[in-house]
Amino acid sequence: MVKIGLIIDKYHLEKKVIQFLEYCRNVAEVSIYIEEEYLLDFSANKFNEDIFFAKAKGDLVLSIVKLIEESTQIPVINSSKGIFLAFNRFLNSVLLRKAGINIPDFCLLPLGLMPPFKEYIIKNIIDQKNYSFNPKINKEEGNLKVIDIRALEEAEGINAKYNHLYYQEFIKSKWEYKIYTIGEELYFFKQLPILVNPDKMKSRTEIPNIPEIAEMAYKATHILDLEISSIDFLKSKEGIYYLTDINSSPNFNYLKNGPQIVGDYLISRAKR
């Protein structure tokens, strides 16, 4: 029986993987490494799993993944490179833009400087915490300016991490397109943008494959070294699709049979 190691934090363990664990424990052996509780003994620890799955993106999770990569030949889904690049918005924007993927114009500016875009959204630079997008919406001279409150807290709050803000040009789109990637398989959905309807699941519907999006999704996951991810796209009034966000720790419960699909993928990867 395949042995799966799940690297996770308490939030995801309690809220996001109950069905996944129920399925996997019937078809595999599962060991759990919890970020907040796991103290690694470098001298005594011996990993004997066939595959690891990192369902979190905290600093200790990243360290454990790196340790496994450096000291064993056991595959880890996703890799430390993939996790790091996915949560670093500015860095992944640079890499994806350089590779020719449509990314909205963006910039990283010190506090107090304004971007060259008439309409923009301010996002947190390091998208690593387990809390939802919290928008503050303003209109100045008819132009939309959206601020994610998380970004201000992380740049100006009591425990500020940096003194810059990440600006992304705002793309007006009737729909937001969300693509889940599990290996080579893609799953396509559309929903009303969260600024139109905060209850994103109420309007979410499954849609057929969109070749333009599929090509960018495959290319992005290859560049960022991701096997399991979710990717957001918007479509401009000119008909151009733009990749706006990428996540290395998606909630696959939104997929029909998502926990089973991911579990079966891990088992198949372990047997290669």
Residue 201: pLDDT band (50, 70, 90) is confident
Q: What is the pLDDT of residue 159?
A: 86
CA distance 228 to 235: 23
Q: What is the pLDDT of residue 197?
A: 87
pTM score: 0.95
pLDDT per residue as tens digits for the range 84-129: 999 999 999 999 999 999 999 999 999 999 999 999 999 999 998 7
Tell me which residue of 104, 152, 150 sits closest to 131, measured CA to CA. 150
Tell me which residue of 119, 123, 169, 113 sits closest to 150, measured CA to CA. 123
Q: What is the pLDDT of residue 45?
A: 66
Q: Is the CB of residue 92 less than 8 Å from the CB of residue 145?
A: no
Q: What is the pLDDT of residue 209?
A: 97
Concatenate the DSSP letters of all residues of 73-109 into one string. ---EES-HHHHHHHHBHHHHHHHHHHTT-----EEEE
CA distance 131 to 52: 24
Dihedrals phi, psi of 130, to nearest 5 degrees? -95, 60
Tell me which residue of 167, 163, 143 sits closest to 155, measured CA to CA. 163
> In the chain, what are the domain boundaries?
3-77, 79-101+172-247, 105-169
Name residue, tokens 């042995």: 3
CATH topology of domain 3-77: Rossmann fold (3.40.50)
Dihedrals phi, psi of 138, to nearest 5 degrees? -125, 155
Query: What Å distances lie between residue 159 and 57, 153, 240, 253, 255, CA to CA?
Result: 19, 8, 39, 33, 36
CA distance 271 to 2: 8
Domain 79-101+172-247: what homologous superfamily? Answer: ATP-grasp fold, B domain (3.30.470.20)
Q: What is the pLDDT of residue 248?
A: 97
pLDDT per residue as tens digits for the range 7-47: 999 999 999 999 999 999 999 999 999 988 765 555 556 78
pLDDT per residue as tens digits for the range 151-186: 998 899 888 888 999 999 999 999 999 999 999 999
Dihedrals phi, psi of 131, to nearest 5 degrees? -140, 155
8-state DSSP, 126: B
Average pLDDT, the chain: 93
Q: What is the pLDDT of residue 181?
A: 98
Q: What is the pLDDT of residue 195?
A: 87
